[in-house]
Structure 1
Amino acid sequence: MGAHSRRHFTLSALAFLAAIAPAWATDIEVTGLFANKAMVSINGGPPRVMSVGQSSPEGVKLISADSSGAVFEMDGQRKKVGMGQRIATSFASGAKPTVKLVADSNGHFSTVGSINGRPIRFMVDTGATMVSFSTNTARQLGIDLSGASQGAVSTAGGVVRAWKVTLDNVKVGAISLNLVEATVVDNLPDGFALLGNSFLNRLQMSREGNVLTLTQSY
Protein backbone atom coordinates (compact mmCIF):
# COMPACT_ATOMS: atom_id res chain seq x y z
CA MET A 1 0.00 0.00 0.00
CA GLY A 2 3.05 2.27 -0.20
CA ALA A 3 1.78 3.89 -3.40
CA HIS A 4 -1.51 4.76 -1.80
CA SER A 5 -2.26 7.36 0.84
CA ARG A 6 -3.27 5.69 4.08
CA ARG A 7 -6.59 6.71 5.55
CA HIS A 8 -7.87 5.75 8.96
CA PHE A 9 -11.59 5.64 9.72
CA THR A 10 -13.23 4.86 13.04
CA LEU A 11 -15.72 2.00 13.02
CA SER A 12 -17.71 0.95 16.07
CA ALA A 13 -20.11 -1.81 17.09
CA LEU A 14 -18.43 -4.47 14.93
CA ALA A 15 -18.92 -7.12 17.59
CA PHE A 16 -22.69 -6.76 17.41
CA LEU A 17 -23.24 -7.34 13.70
CA ALA A 18 -23.66 -11.09 13.85
CA ALA A 19 -26.34 -10.76 16.51
CA ILE A 20 -28.51 -8.09 14.92
CA ALA A 21 -32.17 -8.72 15.63
CA PRO A 22 -34.83 -7.93 13.04
CA ALA A 23 -35.98 -4.31 13.11
CA TRP A 24 -39.16 -2.71 11.93
CA ALA A 25 -39.57 0.05 9.41
CA THR A 26 -42.87 1.57 8.46
CA ASP A 27 -43.16 0.52 4.82
CA ILE A 28 -45.77 -2.23 4.83
CA GLU A 29 -47.22 -4.66 2.32
CA VAL A 30 -50.56 -6.42 2.71
CA THR A 31 -50.09 -10.16 2.19
CA GLY A 32 -53.38 -11.42 3.58
CA LEU A 33 -56.89 -10.10 4.28
CA PHE A 34 -59.45 -11.42 6.72
CA ALA A 35 -62.48 -10.12 8.58
CA ASN A 36 -61.12 -7.46 10.95
CA LYS A 37 -57.55 -8.68 10.46
CA ALA A 38 -54.74 -8.14 7.96
CA MET A 39 -51.48 -9.93 7.42
CA VAL A 40 -48.69 -7.46 6.73
CA SER A 41 -45.01 -7.63 5.89
CA ILE A 42 -43.02 -4.72 7.27
CA ASN A 43 -40.04 -3.61 5.19
CA GLY A 44 -39.64 -7.07 3.71
CA GLY A 45 -39.79 -8.85 7.06
CA PRO A 46 -41.80 -11.97 7.89
CA PRO A 47 -45.60 -11.57 7.65
CA ARG A 48 -47.49 -10.88 10.87
CA VAL A 49 -51.20 -10.55 11.62
CA MET A 50 -52.64 -7.27 12.89
CA SER A 51 -56.15 -6.97 14.31
CA VAL A 52 -58.42 -3.95 13.92
CA GLY A 53 -57.48 -1.34 16.52
CA GLN A 54 -53.97 -2.69 16.92
CA SER A 55 -50.95 -0.42 16.41
CA SER A 56 -47.48 -1.55 15.38
CA PRO A 57 -44.35 -0.32 17.21
CA GLU A 58 -43.79 2.00 14.24
CA GLY A 59 -47.05 3.83 14.87
CA VAL A 60 -49.13 2.22 12.10
CA LYS A 61 -52.67 1.41 13.21
CA LEU A 62 -55.09 -0.96 11.49
CA ILE A 63 -58.46 0.78 11.29
CA SER A 64 -60.47 -1.79 9.34
CA ALA A 65 -60.00 -4.89 7.21
CA ASP A 66 -62.11 -7.07 4.95
CA SER A 67 -61.76 -8.89 1.64
CA SER A 68 -61.58 -5.61 -0.29
CA GLY A 69 -58.61 -4.16 1.57
CA ALA A 70 -57.23 -2.81 4.82
CA VAL A 71 -57.31 0.78 6.09
CA PHE A 72 -54.22 1.95 7.99
CA GLU A 73 -53.65 5.16 9.93
CA MET A 74 -50.31 6.85 10.54
CA ASP A 75 -49.50 10.42 11.54
CA GLY A 76 -53.20 11.28 11.37
CA GLN A 77 -53.53 10.10 7.76
CA ARG A 78 -55.53 7.10 6.56
CA LYS A 79 -55.09 5.02 3.45
CA LYS A 80 -56.74 1.88 2.11
CA VAL A 81 -54.45 -0.82 0.76
CA GLY A 82 -55.50 -3.81 -1.28
CA MET A 83 -54.14 -7.33 -1.33
CA GLY A 84 -50.51 -7.41 -2.48
CA GLN A 85 -50.17 -3.62 -2.45
CA ARG A 86 -47.42 -1.71 -0.63
CA ILE A 87 -47.58 1.67 1.11
CA ALA A 88 -44.75 4.10 1.82
CA THR A 89 -43.63 5.23 5.25
CA SER A 90 -45.55 8.50 5.14
CA PHE A 91 -49.09 8.76 3.76
CA ALA A 92 -49.27 12.54 3.77
CA SER A 93 -49.07 14.22 0.39
CA GLY A 94 -45.79 16.07 0.03
CA ALA A 95 -44.47 14.75 3.35
CA LYS A 96 -40.76 14.12 3.67
CA PRO A 97 -39.81 10.41 3.48
CA THR A 98 -39.58 9.08 7.04
CA VAL A 99 -38.58 5.77 8.59
CA LYS A 100 -39.13 4.72 12.20
CA LEU A 101 -36.86 2.07 13.71
CA VAL A 102 -37.38 0.23 16.99
CA ALA A 103 -34.37 -0.72 19.14
CA ASP A 104 -33.70 -4.38 19.75
CA SER A 105 -33.10 -5.86 23.22
CA ASN A 106 -29.48 -4.65 23.09
CA GLY A 107 -30.47 -1.10 22.21
CA HIS A 108 -29.34 -1.32 18.58
CA PHE A 109 -31.31 -0.08 15.58
CA SER A 110 -31.22 -2.29 12.49
CA THR A 111 -33.26 -2.52 9.33
CA VAL A 112 -33.18 -3.84 5.79
CA GLY A 113 -32.60 -1.61 2.80
CA SER A 114 -30.58 -1.59 -0.38
CA ILE A 115 -27.27 -0.46 -1.84
CA ASN A 116 -27.27 0.25 -5.56
CA GLY A 117 -30.62 -1.52 -5.78
CA ARG A 118 -29.44 -4.74 -4.06
CA PRO A 119 -30.86 -5.76 -0.66
CA ILE A 120 -28.71 -5.47 2.46
CA ARG A 121 -29.25 -5.44 6.23
CA PHE A 122 -28.08 -2.27 7.97
CA MET A 123 -27.22 -1.46 11.56
CA VAL A 124 -27.38 2.22 12.48
CA ASP A 125 -23.97 3.26 13.80
CA THR A 126 -23.48 6.95 14.57
CA GLY A 127 -19.86 6.16 15.49
CA ALA A 128 -19.03 5.04 11.96
CA THR A 129 -17.69 7.79 9.71
CA MET A 130 -19.19 6.21 6.61
CA VAL A 131 -21.46 3.43 5.42
CA SER A 132 -19.20 0.39 5.76
CA PHE A 133 -19.26 -3.27 4.75
CA SER A 134 -16.94 -6.17 3.97
CA THR A 135 -15.08 -6.92 0.75
CA ASN A 136 -17.15 -10.07 0.23
CA THR A 137 -20.34 -8.03 0.65
CA ALA A 138 -18.99 -5.51 -1.87
CA ARG A 139 -18.62 -8.33 -4.42
CA GLN A 140 -22.18 -9.49 -3.72
CA LEU A 141 -23.37 -5.94 -4.30
CA GLY A 142 -21.50 -5.77 -7.61
CA ILE A 143 -19.11 -3.03 -6.43
CA ASP A 144 -15.83 -2.87 -8.36
CA LEU A 145 -12.87 -2.00 -6.13
CA SER A 146 -10.24 -1.98 -8.87
CA GLY A 147 -10.27 1.80 -9.20
CA ALA A 148 -11.07 2.60 -5.56
CA SER A 149 -8.75 4.57 -3.28
CA GLN A 150 -7.07 2.07 -0.95
CA GLY A 151 -6.13 2.77 2.65
CA ALA A 152 -6.55 1.20 6.07
CA VAL A 153 -8.83 1.23 9.09
CA SER A 154 -8.14 0.49 12.74
CA THR A 155 -10.35 -2.23 14.22
CA ALA A 156 -10.33 -4.32 17.38
CA GLY A 157 -8.42 -6.94 15.39
CA GLY A 158 -5.76 -4.49 14.23
CA VAL A 159 -5.20 -2.41 11.12
CA VAL A 160 -6.77 -3.90 7.97
CA ARG A 161 -7.13 -2.91 4.34
CA ALA A 162 -9.97 -0.65 3.31
CA TRP A 163 -11.23 1.01 0.14
CA LYS A 164 -13.13 4.26 -0.20
CA VAL A 165 -15.97 4.15 -2.74
CA THR A 166 -18.97 6.25 -3.71
CA LEU A 167 -22.28 4.36 -3.83
CA ASP A 168 -24.76 5.29 -6.52
CA ASN A 169 -27.70 4.87 -4.16
CA VAL A 170 -28.48 3.88 -0.57
CA LYS A 171 -32.10 3.26 0.37
CA VAL A 172 -33.78 2.60 3.71
CA GLY A 173 -37.55 2.38 3.55
CA ALA A 174 -38.83 5.46 1.75
CA ILE A 175 -35.52 7.30 2.21
CA SER A 176 -33.29 7.21 -0.87
CA LEU A 177 -29.94 9.04 -1.16
CA ASN A 178 -27.59 9.16 -4.13
CA LEU A 179 -23.79 9.42 -4.18
CA VAL A 180 -23.10 8.19 -0.64
CA GLU A 181 -19.47 7.70 0.43
CA ALA A 182 -18.60 4.31 1.90
CA THR A 183 -15.68 2.22 3.10
CA VAL A 184 -15.16 -1.41 2.20
CA VAL A 185 -13.22 -3.25 4.92
CA ASP A 186 -11.48 -6.62 4.77
CA ASN A 187 -12.59 -8.18 8.06
CA LEU A 188 -16.15 -6.93 8.57
CA PRO A 189 -18.79 -9.68 8.85
CA ASP A 190 -20.42 -10.52 5.53
CA GLY A 191 -24.02 -9.73 4.62
CA PHE A 192 -24.31 -6.62 6.80
CA ALA A 193 -23.48 -2.94 6.52
CA LEU A 194 -22.96 -0.24 9.11
CA LEU A 195 -25.25 2.70 8.36
CA GLY A 196 -22.74 5.42 9.16
CA ASN A 197 -22.64 9.19 9.08
CA SER A 198 -22.07 9.58 5.35
CA PHE A 199 -25.76 8.60 5.18
CA LEU A 200 -27.07 9.71 8.57
CA ASN A 201 -25.65 13.24 8.41
CA ARG A 202 -27.88 13.92 5.42
CA LEU A 203 -31.01 13.13 7.45
CA GLN A 204 -32.88 14.56 10.39
CA MET A 205 -32.75 12.15 13.33
CA SER A 206 -34.77 12.11 16.52
CA ARG A 207 -35.20 9.52 19.24
CA GLU A 208 -38.07 9.02 21.63
CA GLY A 209 -37.68 6.08 23.95
CA ASN A 210 -36.74 3.05 21.87
CA VAL A 211 -37.96 4.54 18.58
CA LEU A 212 -35.50 6.27 16.23
CA THR A 213 -37.04 8.45 13.52
CA LEU A 214 -35.09 9.18 10.34
CA THR A 215 -36.39 11.89 8.01
CA GLN A 216 -34.98 12.79 4.62
CA SER A 217 -34.10 16.49 4.79
CA TYR A 218 -34.45 17.95 1.34
Structure 2
Amino acid sequence: MLRALLALTLSLAAVAQAAPQVRVVGLFPNAAVVNIDGQRKFLKVGETGPQGVQVISADSHKAVLRVNGVEQTFDLSREYNASGYSAPAPAQEMGIARNTDGHYWVSGSINGQTAQFLIDTGATTIAMNDEQARRLGIDYRVVGKPMVASTASGTVQGWRVTLNSVKLGGIEVLGVDASVLEGGFPTEILLGMSYLNRVGWREDQGMMYIQSKH
Protein backbone atom coordinates (compact mmCIF):
# COMPACT_ATOMS: atom_id res chain seq x y z
CA MET A 1 0.00 0.00 0.00
CA LEU A 2 2.81 2.42 0.92
CA ARG A 3 4.56 1.76 -2.40
CA ALA A 4 1.30 2.36 -4.29
CA LEU A 5 0.71 5.65 -2.51
CA LEU A 6 4.30 6.72 -3.19
CA ALA A 7 3.97 5.85 -6.88
CA LEU A 8 0.69 7.80 -7.09
CA THR A 9 2.29 10.83 -5.40
CA LEU A 10 5.23 10.80 -7.79
CA SER A 11 2.88 10.43 -10.77
CA LEU A 12 0.77 13.40 -9.66
CA ALA A 13 3.89 15.48 -9.09
CA ALA A 14 5.12 14.70 -12.61
CA VAL A 15 1.77 15.78 -14.09
CA ALA A 16 1.79 19.01 -12.05
CA GLN A 17 5.29 19.87 -13.26
CA ALA A 18 4.60 19.11 -16.93
CA ALA A 19 4.94 22.45 -18.70
CA PRO A 20 2.31 23.29 -21.32
CA GLN A 21 3.44 24.13 -24.84
CA VAL A 22 3.25 27.91 -25.10
CA ARG A 23 3.70 30.13 -28.15
CA VAL A 24 3.14 33.87 -28.43
CA VAL A 25 1.59 34.56 -31.85
CA GLY A 26 0.55 38.18 -31.38
CA LEU A 27 1.91 41.13 -29.41
CA PHE A 28 0.22 44.39 -28.47
CA PRO A 29 0.60 47.06 -25.78
CA ASN A 30 -0.47 45.31 -22.56
CA ALA A 31 -1.89 42.26 -24.37
CA ALA A 32 -0.76 39.13 -26.20
CA VAL A 33 -2.23 36.33 -28.30
CA VAL A 34 -0.98 33.11 -26.74
CA ASN A 35 -1.17 29.58 -28.15
CA ILE A 36 -1.39 27.18 -25.20
CA ASP A 37 -1.36 23.48 -26.10
CA GLY A 38 -2.88 24.38 -29.47
CA GLN A 39 -5.58 26.68 -28.06
CA ARG A 40 -5.28 30.37 -28.96
CA LYS A 41 -6.38 33.05 -26.51
CA PHE A 42 -6.23 36.85 -26.56
CA LEU A 43 -5.10 37.79 -23.05
CA LYS A 44 -4.63 41.20 -21.52
CA VAL A 45 -2.04 41.86 -18.80
CA GLY A 46 -3.23 40.21 -15.59
CA GLU A 47 -5.54 37.74 -17.32
CA THR A 48 -5.06 33.99 -17.00
CA GLY A 49 -5.60 31.52 -19.84
CA PRO A 50 -5.65 27.72 -20.17
CA GLN A 51 -3.25 25.75 -17.98
CA GLY A 52 -2.98 28.78 -15.66
CA VAL A 53 -0.74 30.71 -18.06
CA GLN A 54 -0.85 34.39 -17.10
CA VAL A 55 0.30 37.49 -19.00
CA ILE A 56 2.49 39.59 -16.70
CA SER A 57 3.54 42.26 -19.21
CA ALA A 58 3.51 42.74 -22.98
CA ASP A 59 4.57 45.23 -25.63
CA SER A 60 5.22 45.11 -29.38
CA HIS A 61 8.53 43.27 -28.88
CA LYS A 62 8.02 40.63 -26.19
CA ALA A 63 5.73 39.27 -23.50
CA VAL A 64 6.44 38.05 -19.99
CA LEU A 65 4.25 35.08 -19.07
CA ARG A 66 3.92 33.12 -15.85
CA VAL A 67 3.98 29.41 -16.73
CA ASN A 68 3.75 26.85 -13.92
CA GLY A 69 4.51 29.64 -11.46
CA VAL A 70 7.68 30.73 -13.28
CA GLU A 71 7.96 34.01 -15.21
CA GLN A 72 9.45 33.61 -18.70
CA THR A 73 10.06 36.05 -21.55
CA PHE A 74 8.65 35.10 -24.97
CA ASP A 75 9.39 36.60 -28.36
CA LEU A 76 6.83 36.59 -31.16
CA SER A 77 6.13 33.20 -32.81
CA ARG A 78 8.61 31.27 -30.71
CA GLU A 79 7.34 28.07 -29.15
CA TYR A 80 8.77 26.90 -25.84
CA ASN A 81 8.51 23.30 -24.76
CA ALA A 82 10.72 20.52 -23.49
CA SER A 83 12.56 20.37 -26.82
CA GLY A 84 13.29 24.10 -26.95
CA TYR A 85 12.26 26.79 -29.41
CA SER A 86 10.80 26.18 -32.84
CA ALA A 87 10.94 28.40 -35.94
CA PRO A 88 7.89 30.46 -36.97
CA ALA A 89 5.45 28.92 -39.44
CA PRO A 90 5.77 30.15 -43.05
CA ALA A 91 3.54 33.04 -44.09
CA GLN A 92 0.27 32.20 -45.82
CA GLU A 93 -1.27 34.15 -48.70
CA MET A 94 -4.67 34.10 -50.38
CA GLY A 95 -5.94 35.88 -53.49
CA ILE A 96 -9.43 37.37 -53.86
CA ALA A 97 -10.79 38.30 -57.29
CA ARG A 98 -12.71 41.54 -57.71
CA ASN A 99 -16.43 40.92 -58.25
CA THR A 100 -18.33 42.25 -61.25
CA ASP A 101 -19.76 44.94 -58.93
CA GLY A 102 -16.24 46.24 -58.39
CA HIS A 103 -15.99 45.01 -54.79
CA TYR A 104 -14.02 42.25 -53.09
CA TRP A 105 -16.19 39.61 -51.42
CA VAL A 106 -14.75 36.79 -49.36
CA SER A 107 -16.01 33.99 -47.11
CA GLY A 108 -14.44 33.52 -43.71
CA SER A 109 -15.37 33.13 -40.09
CA ILE A 110 -15.88 35.16 -36.93
CA ASN A 111 -15.38 33.37 -33.63
CA GLY A 112 -15.56 30.08 -35.55
CA GLN A 113 -18.91 30.95 -37.21
CA THR A 114 -19.17 31.25 -41.00
CA ALA A 115 -19.38 34.84 -42.27
CA GLN A 116 -19.46 36.59 -45.65
CA PHE A 117 -17.38 39.76 -45.82
CA LEU A 118 -17.30 42.82 -48.05
CA ILE A 119 -13.76 44.17 -47.89
CA ASP A 120 -13.87 47.91 -47.14
CA THR A 121 -10.53 49.68 -46.80
CA GLY A 122 -12.42 52.84 -45.84
CA ALA A 123 -13.91 51.26 -42.72
CA THR A 124 -11.96 51.72 -39.50
CA THR A 125 -13.13 48.45 -37.97
CA ILE A 126 -15.07 45.36 -38.88
CA ALA A 127 -18.71 46.51 -38.88
CA MET A 128 -21.98 44.59 -38.78
CA ASN A 129 -25.61 45.14 -37.88
CA ASP A 130 -27.21 43.81 -34.72
CA GLU A 131 -29.01 40.93 -36.46
CA GLN A 132 -25.73 39.68 -37.93
CA ALA A 133 -24.08 39.92 -34.50
CA ARG A 134 -26.82 37.83 -32.89
CA ARG A 135 -26.50 35.20 -35.62
CA LEU A 136 -22.79 34.97 -34.84
CA GLY A 137 -23.49 34.59 -31.12
CA ILE A 138 -21.95 37.95 -30.16
CA ASP A 139 -23.56 39.20 -26.93
CA TYR A 140 -22.69 42.79 -27.77
CA ARG A 141 -24.98 44.39 -25.16
CA VAL A 142 -23.09 42.57 -22.40
CA VAL A 143 -19.49 42.60 -23.64
CA GLY A 144 -19.60 45.75 -25.79
CA LYS A 145 -19.08 49.42 -24.98
CA PRO A 146 -21.90 51.75 -26.12
CA MET A 147 -21.16 54.19 -28.93
CA VAL A 148 -22.99 56.42 -31.42
CA ALA A 149 -22.23 56.01 -35.13
CA SER A 150 -23.06 58.22 -38.10
CA THR A 151 -24.55 56.44 -41.12
CA ALA A 152 -26.25 57.48 -44.35
CA SER A 153 -29.56 57.21 -42.46
CA GLY A 154 -28.36 59.38 -39.57
CA THR A 155 -26.95 58.56 -36.16
CA VAL A 156 -27.55 55.11 -34.67
CA GLN A 157 -26.77 53.34 -31.42
CA GLY A 158 -23.83 50.97 -31.57
CA TRP A 159 -21.41 48.94 -29.48
CA ARG A 160 -17.66 48.47 -29.69
CA VAL A 161 -16.66 44.82 -29.24
CA THR A 162 -13.54 42.69 -29.53
CA LEU A 163 -13.87 39.58 -31.69
CA ASN A 164 -11.95 36.57 -30.44
CA SER A 165 -11.07 35.40 -33.96
CA VAL A 166 -11.44 36.57 -37.55
CA LYS A 167 -10.25 34.12 -40.18
CA LEU A 168 -9.93 34.21 -43.98
CA GLY A 169 -8.70 30.89 -45.35
CA GLY A 170 -5.74 29.96 -43.17
CA ILE A 171 -5.07 33.57 -42.11
CA GLU A 172 -6.41 34.09 -38.59
CA VAL A 173 -6.20 37.24 -36.49
CA LEU A 174 -7.21 37.23 -32.83
CA GLY A 175 -8.52 40.08 -30.73
CA VAL A 176 -9.99 42.20 -33.57
CA ASP A 177 -11.93 45.42 -32.92
CA ALA A 178 -15.43 45.57 -34.39
CA SER A 179 -18.58 47.69 -34.30
CA VAL A 180 -22.15 46.43 -33.98
CA LEU A 181 -24.84 48.90 -35.17
CA GLU A 182 -28.57 48.86 -34.50
CA GLY A 183 -30.83 48.53 -37.54
CA GLY A 184 -30.13 47.19 -40.99
CA PHE A 185 -26.88 49.01 -41.69
CA PRO A 186 -24.47 47.77 -42.85
CA THR A 187 -26.33 45.21 -44.94
CA GLU A 188 -23.14 43.14 -45.26
CA ILE A 189 -20.36 42.55 -42.76
CA LEU A 190 -17.63 45.04 -43.61
CA LEU A 191 -14.05 43.79 -43.26
CA GLY A 192 -12.28 46.98 -42.25
CA MET A 193 -8.82 48.09 -41.24
CA SER A 194 -8.89 46.58 -37.75
CA TYR A 195 -8.28 43.27 -39.58
CA LEU A 196 -6.39 44.50 -42.65
CA ASN A 197 -3.86 46.45 -40.57
CA ARG A 198 -2.94 43.18 -38.87
CA VAL A 199 -2.12 41.38 -42.12
CA GLY A 200 -0.27 42.23 -45.29
CA TRP A 201 -2.48 43.19 -48.24
CA ARG A 202 -2.15 44.63 -51.74
CA GLU A 203 -4.20 45.09 -54.91
CA ASP A 204 -2.90 44.07 -58.33
CA GLN A 205 -4.83 43.90 -61.61
CA GLY A 206 -8.23 43.09 -60.19
CA MET A 207 -6.94 40.89 -57.38
CA MET A 208 -6.48 41.55 -53.68
CA TYR A 209 -3.79 39.51 -51.96
CA ILE A 210 -3.82 39.01 -48.20
CA GLN A 211 -0.81 37.59 -46.40
CA SER A 212 -0.33 36.55 -42.81
CA LYS A 213 2.17 38.43 -40.67
CA HIS A 214 4.49 37.00 -38.03
TM class, shorter-length: 0.5 to 0.7
1:187 deviates by 2.7
1:168·1:180 contact (CA, 8 Å) conserved in 2?
Answer: yes
1:13-32 superposed matches below 5 A: none
Determine the structure 1 residue equivalent to 2:26.
none
In 2, Cα distance between the equivalents of 1:136 and 1:179? 21
Determine the structure 2 residue equivalent to 1:185.
181
Residue 198 (structure 1) aligned with residue 210 (structure 2): no
1:190 deviates by 7.4
1:174 deviates by 1.1
In 2, Cα distance between the equivalents of 1:165 and 1:175? 21
Residue 117 (structure 1) aligned with residue 92 (structure 2): no
In 1, Cα distance between the equivalents of 2:113 and 2:168? 12
Residue 144 (structure 1) aligned with residue 143 (structure 2): no
In 1, Cα distance between the equivalents of 2:160 and 2:93? 28
1:153·1:162 contact (CA, 8 Å) conserved in 2?
Answer: yes
In 2, Cα distance between the equivalents of 1:166 and 1:187? 20
1:189 deviates by 4.8
1:95 deviates by 3.0
2:126·2:189 contact (CA, 8 Å) conserved in 1?
Answer: yes
Residue 156 (structure 1) aligned with residue 152 (structure 2): yes
Which amino acid is 1:181 matched to? Answer: D
2:141·2:159 contact (CA, 8 Å) conserved in 1?
Answer: no
Residue 166 (structure 1) aligned with residue 173 (structure 2): no
In 2, Cα distance between the equivalents of 1:188 and 1:217? 33
Q: Which TM-score applies when normalising by structure 2? A: 0.56
Of residues 173, 176, 193 in structure 1, which corresponds to 2:172? 176
- Provide the secondary structure at the position in 2 that maps to 1:146: helix
> Post-superposition, which runs of at least 4 consecutive aligned residues in structure 1 deviate over 4 A?
none
Q: Structure 2 unaligned runs (5+)? A: 1-87
The farther-off stretch of 130-139 and 94-103 is 94-103
In 2, Cα distance between the equivalents of 1:117 and 1:216? 18
Point out the structure with the larger helix share.
2
In 1, Cα distance between the equivalents of 2:186 and 2:149? 17
Q: With CA pairs under 8 Å and 6+ residues apart, which has the higher RCO, 1 or 2?
A: 1
Aligned residues: 126
Of residues 74, 80, 96 in structure 1, which corresponds to 2:91? 96
CA RMSD in angstroms, aligned pairs only: 1.7
1:192 deviates by 3.1
In 2, Cα distance between the equivalents of 1:206 and 1:145? 32
Q: Deviations over 1:8-51 (max 9, x none)?
A: xxxxxxxxxxxxxxxxxxxxxxxxxxxxxxxxxxxxxxxxxxxx
1:110·1:123 contact (CA, 8 Å) conserved in 2?
Answer: yes
2:109·2:167 contact (CA, 8 Å) conserved in 1?
Answer: yes
- Provide the secondary structure at the position in 2 that maps to 1:113: strand
1:206·1:214 contact (CA, 8 Å) conserved in 2?
Answer: yes
Greater Rg by CA: 2
Q: Structure 1 unaligned runs (5+)? A: 1-92
Of residues 196, 212, 216 in structure 1, which corresponds to 2:212? 216
Q: Deviations over 1:121-175 (max 9, x none)?
A: 0010011010011101111111112331111111110001110000000001111
1:94 deviates by 4.4
1:120·1:191 contact (CA, 8 Å) conserved in 2?
Answer: no
1:188/1:197 Cα in 2 relative to 1: closer, same or farther (>3 Å)? farther
Q: Which TM-score applies when normalising by structure 1? A: 0.55
Q: Percent identity?
A: 33
